[in-house]
């Protein structure tokens, strides 16, 4: 049987102290989405406050409280007994079911685990399935657990990586993320990713048909919509600023183009501003 460790002991500092586990998305607390994805695991251990308790979920506290994700992982490992493998998930993953569905059948082989890598190439350490022995070895190798990062804990383990093609590992990390996810319904959540960030190499289905229907309804007649530049621009802004900024930016670019600016020039302006935010 595979165990599960859910980390939920943080302060939510970047969200102004909001209890992320309790934030409601699509009608239920974030942590309940994670628990549902882990149905069938034994045991399921949540590390954090007593409010995390649910039937079938054992709650423990890291030492010291708010000691960070590595101290929390160690506390979880102490509580899962002799399981061979364990899921290690953050509490703020509304699409945890997609993470589990994607990684459940992925072989670990001789490595220490298998984890997702997001569209930006960042390894999502808290969206993975690990060998318990490898995690315990990594914990024992650290001199001080309190305040250590998850990268320090597992970054040296031989891990298999799987591309997160549908943003299953997108979490609630900023106020903008929080605002976006609070608006999600069960239907939009289950789509697996936001349409505003979908920029696959092939055009999305039915876009040409939708444009042909929408343009005349808006009194625009026959128009040439530069799909790829607009989709790339929207994705760039969604990742570099905030998801809700994507469609807003597209609207503003449309106004600029209507006043004579080219799409390429508008894209260059947006790119410069987005890159300036990351410096």
Phi/psi of residue 92, each to 5°? -110, 45
What three-state secondary structure class fits 62?
coil
Helical segments of the chain, H only: 30-37, 69-79, 96-103, 132-140, 150-154, 175-182, 186-189, 207-217, 227-240, 245-258, 263-277
Residue pointed to by tokens 């302006």? 269
What three-state secondary structure class fits 129?
strand
Q: Calculate ∠ Cα 68-72-78, nearest 5°.
A: 155
From first to last of its 279 residues, the chain has per-residue pLDDT tens of 899 999 997 776 666 677 888 888 878 899 999 999 999 999 999 999 999 999 999 999 998 888 999 999 999 999 999 999 999 999 999 899 999 999 999 999 888 999 999 888 889 999 999 999 999 999 999 989 988 999 999 999 999 999 998 888 988 777 767 666 665 655 556 554 443 344 444 444 567 777 888 888 888 877 777 776 677 777 778 777 887 888 888 888 888 888 888 877 887 888 888 877 755
Global pTM exceeds 0.75 = no
Task: Give the pairing type, strands 85-90 and 123-131.
Answer: antiparallel
What three-state secondary structure class fits 241?
coil
CA distance 104 to 2: 10
Cβ proximity of 243 and 197 under 8 Å = yes
């Amino acid at each position: 049987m595979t165990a599960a460790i859910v980390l939920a002991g943080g302060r939510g500092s970047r969200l102004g102290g909001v209890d992320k586990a309790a934030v409601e998305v699509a009608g239920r607390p974030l942590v309940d989405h994670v628990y549902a994805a882990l149905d069938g695991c034994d045991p399921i251990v949540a590390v954090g406050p007593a409010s995390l308790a649910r039937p079938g979920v054992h709650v423990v506290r890291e030492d010291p409280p708010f000691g960070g994700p590595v101290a929390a992982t160690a506390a979880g490992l102490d509580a899962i007994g002799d399981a061979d493998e364990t899921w290690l998930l953050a509490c703020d993953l509304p699409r945890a079911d997609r993470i589990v569905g994607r990684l459940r059948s992925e072989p670990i082989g001789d490595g220490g685990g298998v984890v997702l890598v997001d569209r930006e190439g960042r390894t999502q350490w808290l969206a993975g399935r690990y060998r318990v022995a490898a995690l315990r070895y990594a914990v024992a190798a650290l001199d001080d657990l309190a305040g250590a990062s998850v990268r320090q804990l597992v970054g040296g383990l031989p891990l298999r990586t799987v591309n997160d093609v549908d943003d299953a590992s997108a979490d609630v990390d900023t106020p903008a993320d929080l605002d976006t996810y609070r608006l999600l319904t069960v239907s939009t959540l289950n789509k697996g990713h936001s349409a505003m960030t979908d920029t696959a190499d092939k055009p999305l289905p039915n876009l040409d048909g939708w444009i042909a229907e929408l343009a005349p309804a808006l009194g625009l007649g026959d128009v040439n919509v530069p799909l790829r530049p607009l989709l790339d621009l929207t994705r760039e802004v969604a990742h570099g600023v905030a998801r809700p900024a994507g469609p807003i930016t597209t609207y503003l670019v449309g106004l600029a183009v209507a006043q004579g600016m080219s799409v390429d020039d508008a894209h260059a302006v947006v790119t410069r501003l987005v890159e300036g935010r990351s410096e």
